[in-house]
Chains A and B, each alone.
Chain A
Amino acid sequence: VKGPSVEKCGQMRFITAEAKASAGRLEGKLREKTLTLDTLNPQVKAVEYAVRGPIVIKAGEIERYLEEGGTKPFSEVIKANIGDAHAMGQKPITFLRQVVALCTFPELMDSPSFPEDAKRRARRILQGCGGHSLGSYSASPGVECIRKDIAAYIEQRDEGVPSDWENVYLTTGASDGIMTILRLLVSGKDSSRTGVMIPIPQYPLYSAAISEMDAVQVNYYLDEDNCWALDINELHRSYQAAKQHCQPRVICIINPGNPTGQVQSKKCIEEVLHFAYEENLFVMSDEVYQDNVYAPDCQFHSFKKVLYEMGPEYFNSVELVSFHSTSKGYTGECGFRGGYMEVINMDPEVKAQMVKLLSVRLCPPLAGQAAMDVIVNPPQPEEHTFKQFHQEKSSVLGALAEKAKLTEKILNAVPGIKCNPVQGAMYAFPRIFIPPKAVEEAKALGMQPDMLYCLRLLEETGICVVPGSGFGQKDGTYHFRMTILPSIEKLKVLLGKVRDFHIGFLKEYSGLE
């Protein structure tokens, strides 16, 4: 069974957003609206965010169509576009949810069905809340006792490298923290405008934030042939090139990589930090996947720890912010929007400015803060809940590791797909060969070739993945990002479908010659 033709795919896409929009333009003129596409903040217009872009909108439409009884060559849409663990069937960690429930409805403290360990934590969190309620605002940097727990956790993770709780700020997911820091950093005009170095491929939050703030995006390319490793020479090249037209002031690192799944070696991190030190760059290290390392020869090294070990001239001077979140790891609690950042060597005056900026938004959601607290302060071996907690955690991480391997293996068996090992994080970012005929057709439709590929994949199989162009890639190469989150059984089916689709796609566009 074949889905609608490519032209139709393209048209349908236009029918949705674009057609609606062009109708609106007419109406807009008639009504002389105040806020139109012409008067809209131009930076907003420039923002792109592929992870929830046109392909996802399309997936939503197909889902609705299926619900309303429409027929497709598949029975459900599988959203492999976003790292949304629970939506893919991953179960929440019981202990975490027990603590959150206790905090939410403290009458449960009397219930014998809740373990004492959970109650103790909930009581402690509530004691840190105004009026002992999750419903009160917290201080803008977060609940004090949670900040202290986070600092203790970081110290333990980094084997004794000190962490000052007053450098820890709770956030509304890591995205919020990343935006806040970028907002502080962007200034200047023309050639003194702030340049932000980001990896390509990158997580599009960065490019979107940079567009919104009208900063200059400075691309450094990860080395696909070398497992997406970061090459220090490439940093130099990119920095020197950017210096001609902006002032590069920040370097962003995502480790483990999103969408690329690589885990940086300690040596590589040292090189990056040395580079930042030499070139006077502010370092932002996105470490939300720090617990998601699967490859046996890889280990997560925090930028903070490496910086510290490089000696005082580094750790007393390099400005570093690292980000963490409740959304990834083994908890996958995306909906709670919990997260934190630790800032190191930030100018005290700037810090005061940052606190002021955070205070305008009042505070991060308290339920998310509570969830964060459980992550940094999980059951200990001597506690009753430890066994179950540990079992749940290992089972989630074990399954992810297995799925990482499975994905890489199956994809690499497909001719025309090449996939680097998924060392960490939650995604595969395989390179796909797209025949020239298909590239041409895409161009004729005014879309990226990998967008065409992904739209076809969606229409024919119900699988929703994000085109590589949304993350950035070397010119002439094409990729897609898919999560490794579906259950093993489903993932196998999914990968099988991707394989069949790809082979069919190659045949169709090569056979047309």
Chain B
Amino acid sequence: MNENAESLFDTDSRHSWNIQRFLSYHCKQSSAVLIHSILISIIQRFTPEILRKGIHGDTMTENGCEYRERVLTMDTMNPNVKRVEYAVRGPIVQRAVQIERELKMGIKKPFTEVIRANIGDCHAMGQKPITFFRQVLALCSYPDLLEDGKFPEDAKSRARRILQACGGGSLGAYSTSQGIEMIRQDIARYIERRDGGITCDPDNIYLSTGASDAIVTMLKLLVSGEGMSRTGVMISIPQYPLYSATLAELGAVQISYYLDEDNCWSLDISELRRALQEAKKHCSPRALCIINPGNPTGQVQSRQCIEGVIRFAAAEKLFLMADEVYQDNVYADGCKFHSFKKVLFEMGLEYSEKVELASFHSTSKCYMGECGFRGGYMEVVNLDPEVKVQLTKLVSVRLCPPVPGQALLDVVVNPPQPDEPSYDTFIKERTDTLATLAEKANMTQEILNQVPGIKCNPVQGAMYTFPRIHLPPKAILEAKEKEQTPDMFYCMKLLEETGICLVPGSGFGQRDGTYHFRMTILPPKEKLKIVLAKIKEFHQHFMAQYS
């Protein structure tokens, strides 16, 4: 066992060891076990949590018995797992959880609550669910409610329709692995409406457990080869760390292309070309991932840029993966969401029959913010039919995506229509949520840009700001001494002093020597103002301290 871990669990190990030693000296084994369990349950009840932990774990080397090595240790574990990093829920978030516990225990802090601006978790930040969606889901979960007069007819008719498509009329039945067929048809029609009539085949839709699940699945299909021919996947830097984490786990080669911070984080085709040429020397680049609107960078791609990307992918025979989960989150004037699918098809047969594309969507973002339901889908275009058979087989091993998430997705793509009773409320709720987000996007950018040493691009879309922070050399030195990246050092300090939990830019990738953090714009307006003011104050103080 590693030394740190040993010392960490020292107290409890010894604690348990004493009991066992006592027992093995004084009792017959069978009654020893009995007494041991009694003792343990007594200890369980009367010792603090920290002592409890080790009793039935972590005691191996000191349990008075012969040494037995663990099967699964850091040395024997899948080495790819070790390489996985996922900053959005990384060390800083773990520390935030600890601080929350400390606050609960009554430990004094310079703040009263932890504000989690690390993750795009809308409802946790007080955003209200869309009433209509939840009504339909409640009806599906407990169909007795279909007799309840309080539920509007349009919600009931949708719930009935969904249940009819479920095995045994129940959300509790498995669906087909690709997702409920009727819901796939609804999604296809939704995509057609969104894309101005470009056809969408329901057979190309795969429902998923959140968009993450589908992204991982597609990457899994794409990874092959050894050495020079190992699959390389191009991802933006900064990126959403699901991509880097998955590539690490699959043992694929990450090819970084840098977004242009000085140009509103826009994507530059010549940078794509540079990254690709370089990568070709040591791997086989086969896929290009785009996040639009950008996470964590918030830019919204222009149509022209998307065309450039598609041309590039076609020329270089790259599989395109378009992460479009923020497609409804566009705030900036003059910006508009263009789906890759639509642009691809408008570029003519030469492209639309050739370029392989998977695009991803989710119930977690946009105005829904229903993260917990883990609903999502992907549309595949031009996927080789043989590969599609393989894809269907692969997803079937996991049986099916959660059916409540599928039901939710169905309502998202099939919302109340103008002639239906729930329409007005629905539109009002949706508009309010999106308008508030737009306002917060603006406000965040404005306030942060007033702080000397912080520079923030406009939040054109998505749910985050990714400002650049200037860190004094002295702070960088101190971070190095602590073996932290400088922006981790900064964010940790911010957390300890203000209770605000952000994610350091290093978790998303950034140009060497630049530092950022990602923060969500999701807290309610009043709270967001306070958060931003606190950051401002902290930053000024930080600068003063280290200059």
Contact = CB atoms under 8 A, between A and B. Distances in A.
Interface of A: 17, 20-21, 23-25, 27-28, 31-37, 39-42, 44-45, 47-49, 51-53, 60, 82, 84-90, 92, 97-98, 100-101, 104-105, 108, 111, 113, 129-131, 133-140, 160-162, 164, 166-167, 172-173, 175-176, 179, 183-187, 204-205, 208-209, 212, 249-250, 277, 280-282, 308-313, 315-317, 319, 331-337, 344-350, 353, 356-357, 359-368
5 contacts: A87-B167, A101-B138, A111-B148, A334-B400, A364-B374
A53 B394 CA distance: 11
Given A312-B64, A317-B60, A334 B173 contact: yes
A129 to B, nearest CB: 7
B224 A131 contact: no
A52 B396 contact: yes
A360 B212 contact: yes
A335 B242 contact: no
Nearest to B171: A335
Interface stretch (B326-334, B401-409, B493-501): B401-409
A187 B251 CA distance: 12
What 5 A-B pairs come out closest when comparing CB atoms? A130-B124, A87-B167, A24-B385, A335-B403, A366-B372
B123 A316 contact: no
Given A101-B142, A187-B76, 4 more contacts: A98-B142, A359-B90, A362-B371, A365-B405
Interface string B229-268: 0000000000001100110010000000000000000000
Nearest to A326: B172
Contact of B177 (A52, A137, A187): A52
Interface string B428-452: 0000000000000000000000000
B127 interface: yes
Contact of A39 (B53, B57, B210, B286): B286
B410 to A, nearest CB: 13
Interface in B1-57: 1-2, 5, 8-9, 16, 20, 23-24, 29, 32-33, 36-37, 40-41, 44, 52-53, 55-57
Contacts of B373: 134-135, 365-367
Nearest to B175: A335
Contact of B170 (A45, A87, A136, A309): A87
A162 B137 contact: no
B393 interface: yes
Interface in B53-106: 53, 55-60, 63-66, 68-74, 76-79, 81-82, 84-86, 88-90, 97
Contacts of A27: 384-385
A167 B57 contact: yes
A334 B76 contact: no
B220 interface: yes
Contacts of A336: 171-172, 402-404
Given A31-B353, A347-B70, A367-B402, A317 B65 contact: yes
Nearest to A185: B72
Interface in B199-225: 209-210, 212-213, 216, 220-224
A280 B69 contact: yes
Contacts of B286: 34-35, 39
B121 interface: yes
A147 B88 CA distance: 22
B228 interface: no
A471 B296 CA distance: 45
Contact of B384 (A36, A183, A249): A36
B209 A365 contact: yes
A311 B36 CA distance: 9
A184 B403 CA distance: 28
B287 interface: yes
A176 B400 CA distance: 11
Nearest to A139: B97
B8 A32 contact: no
Contacts of A53: 393, 396
A353 B81 contact: yes
B143 to A, nearest CB: 8
B373 to A, nearest CB: 6
A136 B123 contact: yes
A40 B174 contact: no
B384 A28 contact: yes
Contacts of B525: none
B135 interface: yes
A61 to B, nearest CB: 12
A311 B32 contact: yes
A45 B393 CA distance: 9
Nearest to A45: B390
B78 A184 contact: yes
Contacts of B23: 312
B356 interface: yes
A512 B85 CA distance: 64
Contacts of A212: 220, 394, 397
Given A136-B372, A172-B374, A44 B394 contact: yes
B72 A367 contact: no
Nearest to B370: A135
B141 A104 contact: yes
B8 A316 contact: no
A205 B397 contact: yes
B68 A280 contact: yes
B29 A88 contact: no
A440 to B, nearest CB: 28
A217 to B, nearest CB: 15
A86 B173 contact: yes
Interface string B108-129: 0000000010010111111101
B403 A166 contact: no
Contacts of B354: 31
B77 A44 contact: no
Interface string B128-140: 0100001101100
A59 B432 CA distance: 47
A37 B390 contact: yes
Contact of B41 (A25, A35, A47, A160): A160
B386 A24 contact: yes
A315 B317 CA distance: 55
B401 A86 contact: no
Contacts of A176: 398
Contact of A162 (B55, B59, B85, B142): B55
B399 interface: yes
A174 to B, nearest CB: 10
B454 to A, nearest CB: 28
Contact of B142 (A97, A361, A362): A97
Contact of A131 (B84, B123, B142, B389): B123
B138 A108 contact: yes
Contacts of B56: 162, 164, 167, 308, 315-316, 344-345
B123 A135 contact: yes
Given A24-B384, A184-B81, A335-B174, A362 B397 contact: no
Contacts of A34: 222, 286-287, 317-319, 356
A209 B397 contact: yes
B168 interface: yes
A350 B74 contact: yes
Contact of B221 (A35, A310, A331, A365): A35
B171 A337 contact: no
B383 interface: yes
Nearest to A24: B385
Contacts of B318: 34
B60 A316 contact: yes
Contacts of B24: 312
Contacts of A52: 177, 393, 396-397, 399
B425 to A, nearest CB: 13
A47 to B, nearest CB: 6
B384 A35 contact: yes
A160 B79 CA distance: 37
